[in-house]
Amino acid sequence: MTQLLLPSFFLSMIGIFDIFGIKQSLAINQIFYVIIGFLAFFVSKKIGRNFFATNSQLLYWFFIFLLAATFIIGLEVKGSKRWIDLYFFNFQTSEIFKPFFILFLADFLIRDYKIVNPINIFLFSLLYFLLPTLIIFKQPDLGNAAVYFFIFIVVVLFSDLAKKYILYFCLFLFLALPIGWKFMQGYQKDRIASFLNPKIDQQGIAYNITQAIITVGSGKFAGRGLGLGTQSRLYFLPENHTDFAFSSMIEQFGFLGGFTVIVLYLIIGTMIVKRLPASYLLRDRTDKKNFLYLVGFLSYFIFQILVNVGMNLGLFPITGIALPFISFGGSSFVAIMIGMALIP
């Protein structure tokens, strides 16, 4: 869908200017990442969606291998092993894997359920979801694990599998929450505690979320101006170019800047939604796979926007989820561009 390139370009330019206002050297890197991302789009288009769809199973296991390899040769940053150092580019497998995971899951769920036992299909799809998600959770990266969870739930819900399977799975997860809490890292527990009670320790565990809200409020209607955001530029706001890039953008460009970004996101989302009815109504095998891929990509795109913007506004707990096109980083940008290139 080459029509998506124009709003994507405008969003990436806003992201570059936002980062430039914080630290110029990072903006140079982001320009490089944007170029690589658009090249990835055109290369993926040139190769053709059919190639990736035909080899979706092979790609799935290739990325599982890379996720496992990250534990051995991965670059450790702040206690997390999420990246493979390629010298000129830190490759984050969990990000690049997302569009290929959606493609694989869409292909796997298209079955003739009169011949194949649907329970077996659901259990195998659950296994294919849990394998990468548990590895990502142990990196640790709760944010991206949540993205994979949301993608899986939405794609299965829109497949021909009985919805009761998802209901049982979610009920099991709810009952297992106390066990899951024990496996979470200390800082992850603190983030949830600070979300539930932001006043619990505003100079400690609630510092990030408090500063994010202050930064958003300081932007007011038109913003302080490029490079004039004191909260972000003077680093009162942690992770001002990644997790809290939206807050730093609002501080510099105000409500107008934030509103423009949301409108551009809505344009991209609307373009994708308009393609859903055709794939759904035709309902042959290929169209079913196309429909599930569109649903999966849309859920991935919307979920990351809602969670990232929500945590910047204090509406969701803090998680390491990148804001598409705005947050600093190459892997997330390349992943979203490949994902758009694979849209049928």
- Residue 86 resides in a domain: no
Name the nearest CA neighbour of 193 among 211, 208, 183.
208
Q: Is the dihedral of CA 251, 254, 260, 265 positive or negative?
A: positive
**What tens digit of pLDDT does each residue of 99-128 get?**
999 999 999 998 776 677 888 999 999 999
Domain contains 84: no
Between CA 80 and CA 59 the distance in angstroms is 24
SS (H, E, C) 222-239: CCCCCCCCHHHHCCCCCC
Q: How many CA atoms lie within 13 A of 162 on its CB side?
A: 12
Within a domain: 153: yes
Structural domain for 195, as ranges: 53-67+101-323
| Alpha-carbon distances of 320 from 50, 137, 241, 323, rounded to whole Å | 32, 12, 12, 10
For residue 76, give the H/E element and its range.
strand 75-77
Asked whether residue 133 is domain-assigned, the answer is yes
Please provide the DSSP assignment of 81-126 as one string.
EEEEE-SS-EE-HHHHHHHHHHHHHHHHT---TTTS-HHHHHHHHH
- Does the residue 164 lie in any domain? yes
Q: What one-letter code names the amino acid at 257?
A: G
Which long-range contacts (C-beta less than 8 Å, at least 24 apart) are formed by 130-137? 131/64, 132/63, 132/64, 132/67, 132/94, 132/97, 132/101, 135/64, 135/67, 135/68, 135/71, 136/67, 136/94, 137/183
Is 253 domain-assigned? yes
The conformation of residue 343, written as its DSSP 8-state character, comes to: -
What is the number of domains present in the chain? Answer: 1
For residue 29, give the 3-state DSSP assignment.
helix
Contact indicator for 101, 62 with CB cutoff of 8 Å:
no
Residue 43 lies in a domain: no
Q: Which residues of the chain have pLDDT under 70?
A: 1, 78-79, 113-114, 180-206, 234-235, 281-283
Q: Are the beta carbons of 98 and 300 closer than 8 angstroms? A: yes
Strands 90-91 and 80-85: antiparallel
Q: What does R_g of the chain's alpha carbons equal in angstroms? A: 20
Residue 178 lies in a domain: yes
The pLDDT of residue 203: 55
State the CB neighbour count (10 A cutoff) for residue 6.
12
pLDDT at 79: 67
CA 231 remoteness from chain centre: 25
Predicted local confidence at residue 243, as pLDDT: 80
Question: What are phi and psi for residue 76, nearest 5 degrees?
Answer: -95, 125
pTM above 0.85, yes or no: yes
Q: Facing residues of 81 across strands? A: 76
Predicted local confidence at residue 179, as pLDDT: 75
DSSP-derived pairing of the beta strands 75-77 and 90-91:
unpaired
